[in-house]
């Protein structure tokens, strides 16, 4: 009898000790730890974060078994259609996410998921250059700083991202960033090969920012939030989208097809869409919010910062990346050539 009582007490204690878990697979430095802690308190759960630096490695891990390990992933716009086709994402139950109503209409129905069946916008932004300001001359805000040896300001890093690098090279040549023209893509490859030979190599956005701050290089291709945070750490640096334009992206929250804690995942998505939480997120990571209801709580200086919210003129020069279907194979082949030579 005593043995049974002991076992029952042990089971009860274990049940109390084991909190619900939420496993999030997300980009580096992409969420305020205070947001995570508050969600844990509100829902009496434990949140774990695993990090990645590019969409390709995230997809590879999901396809290798992560689809049943993680509850939330944060893919970029152009990879969502392929993830849906491969059966990696679960359909969202909108009844469990009433805060969808808070989304800015221009981000609520993007072409890659027009009915938000699988994704909910998380943050949006640009790719540009984070650079240490020269002491004597003003900066010429052009992709030529990367692709023209005569304009190279010093040691620099390329972004370890196939579409970001090709978008920059294509824009510099005056081509659309979603080009599938083999001639245009080979021209972009040649630009990247030359730039690679003159560079310090490839890094993720966070790594590039950190190396500029540490004075290991003078310039890096980064995401705008990384660049803006960098300028706050060191006033002798700046971030800009080059005058030719570039990539405009949207990252979204999604639930893997076999997520072990789907209910809690939908509660998390709904929580992020709370107006004040959405503002806290953007105030922390310095990216733009797709949450219209959050904008009144965004710091006014951030709303006025063109590095976070591009000017109307720049918005005409930036483009969203698209899923290129079969043409993605050519990008992969050319990228392999760039990385291997």
CATH, residue 336: 3.40.190.10
**What pLDDT shows up at residue 11?**
45
Q: How confident is the model at residue 135 (pLDDT cuts 50, 70, 90)?
A: confident
Q: How, if at all, do strands 119-132 and 219-223 pair?
A: antiparallel
User: How confident is residue 106, by pLDDT bands cut at 50, 70 and 90?
Assistant: confident
My answer on whether 240 and 152 are in the same domain is yes
Q: Which two tokens stand for residue 299?
A: 């710091």
One domain for residues 335 and 193: yes
pLDDT tens-place string over residues 200-238? 999 999 999 999 999 999 999 999 999 999 999 999 999
pLDDT of residue 6: 45
Does 317 have pLDDT greater than 90? yes
**Is the pLDDT reported for residue 55 higher than 80?**
yes
Whether 3 is covered by a domain: the verdict is: no
Query: Which domain, by its residues, includes 327?
Result: 125-248+313-340
* 34 lies in the same domain as 171: no
pTM: predicted TM-score of the whole model, two decimal places = 0.89
| pLDDT score of 244 more than 50 | yes
The answer to the question of residue 78 being in a domain is yes
Contact 84, 59 (CB under 8 A): no
Please list, in sequence order, all residues whose beta carbon lies within 8 angstroms of the beta carbon of residue 120, skipping any fewer than 6 positions away. Answer: 92, 97, 100, 103, 252, 253, 254, 269, 272, 273
What's the CA gap between 89 and 263, in Å, rounded? 15
Residue 199 domain-assigned (yes or no): yes
What is the predicted pLDDT for the residue at 21? 96
Residues β-bridged to residue 123: 251
Residue 14: predicted pLDDT:
44
pLDDT on residue 164: 96
In a domain, 324, yes or no: yes
Does the pLDDT of residue 53 top 50, yes or no? yes
Q: What is the pLDDT of residue 12?
A: 43
What is the pLDDT averaged over residues 82-97?
A: 97
Same domain, 168 and 205: yes
Provide the pLDDT for residue 39: 98
- Whether residue 119 contacts residue 75, with contact meaning beta carbons closer than 8 Å, is answered with yes
Strands (E) in the chain, as ranges, are: 20-27, 45-52, 72-73, 119-132, 156-159, 202-203, 219-223, 237-240, 246-254, 318-320
Q: Tell me: do 149 and 190 sit in the same domain.
A: yes
Q: What is the mean pLDDT of the chain?
A: 94
By the 10 Å C-beta count (0-12 exposed, 13-18 middle, 19+ buried), 145 is classed as: buried
pLDDT given for residue 182 in this prediction:
97
If one counts the domains in the chain, the total is: 2
Task: For residues 178-184, give the mean pLDDT.
Answer: 97
Q: Kindly tell me if the per-residue pLDDT of 7 is higher than 60.
A: no
With a cut of 70, say whether residue 275 has pLDDT above it: yes
Give me the pLDDT at residue 137, please.
Answer: 84
Mean pLDDT of 294-320: 96
Indicate whether 4 belongs to any domain: no
The pLDDT assigned to 10 comes to 46
């Amino acid at each position: 009898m005593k043995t049974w009582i002991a076992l029952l007490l042990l089971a009860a204690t274990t049940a109390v000790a084991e909190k619900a878990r939420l496993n999030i697979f997300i980009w580096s430095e992409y969420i305020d730890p205070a947001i995570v802690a508050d969600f844990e308190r509100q829902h009496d759960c434990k949140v774990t974060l695993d990090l990645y630096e590019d969409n390709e490695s995230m997809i590879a891990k999901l396809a290798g078994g992560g689809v049943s390990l993680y509850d939330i992933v944060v893919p970029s716009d152009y990879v969502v259609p392929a993830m849906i086709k491969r059966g990696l994402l679960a359909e969202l139950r909108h009844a469990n996410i009433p805060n969808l109503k808070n989304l800015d209409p221009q981000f609520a129905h993007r072409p890659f998921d027009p009915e938000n069946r699988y994704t909910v916008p998380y943050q949006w932004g640009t790719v540009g250059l984070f650079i240490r300001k020269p002491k004597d001359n003003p900066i010429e805000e052009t992709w030529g700083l990367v692709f023209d040896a005569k304009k190279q300001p010093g040691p620099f890093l390329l972004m370890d991202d196939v579409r970001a690098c090709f978008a920059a090279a294509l824009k510099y040549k005056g081509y659309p960033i979603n080009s599938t023209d083999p001639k245009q893509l080979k021209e972009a490859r040649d630009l990247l090969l030359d730039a690679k030979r003159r560079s310090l190599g490839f890094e993720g956005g966070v790594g590039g920012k950190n190396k500029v701050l540490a004075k290991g290089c003078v310039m890096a291709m980064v995401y705008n939030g990384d660049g803006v945070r960098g300028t706050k750490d060191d006033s002798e640096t700046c971030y800009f989208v080059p005058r030719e334009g570039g990539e405009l992206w949207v990252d979204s929250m999604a639930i893997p097809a076999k997520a072990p804690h789907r209910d809690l995942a939908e509660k998390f998505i709904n929580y992020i869409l709370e107006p004040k939480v959405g503002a806290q997120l953007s105030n922390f990571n310095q990216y733009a919010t797709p949450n219209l209801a959050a904008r009144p709580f965004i710091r006014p200086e951030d709303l006025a910062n063109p590095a976070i919210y591009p000017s109307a003129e720049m918005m005409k020069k930036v483009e969203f990346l698209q899923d290129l279907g079969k043409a993605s194979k050519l990008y992969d082949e050319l990228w392999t050539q760039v990385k291997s030579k």
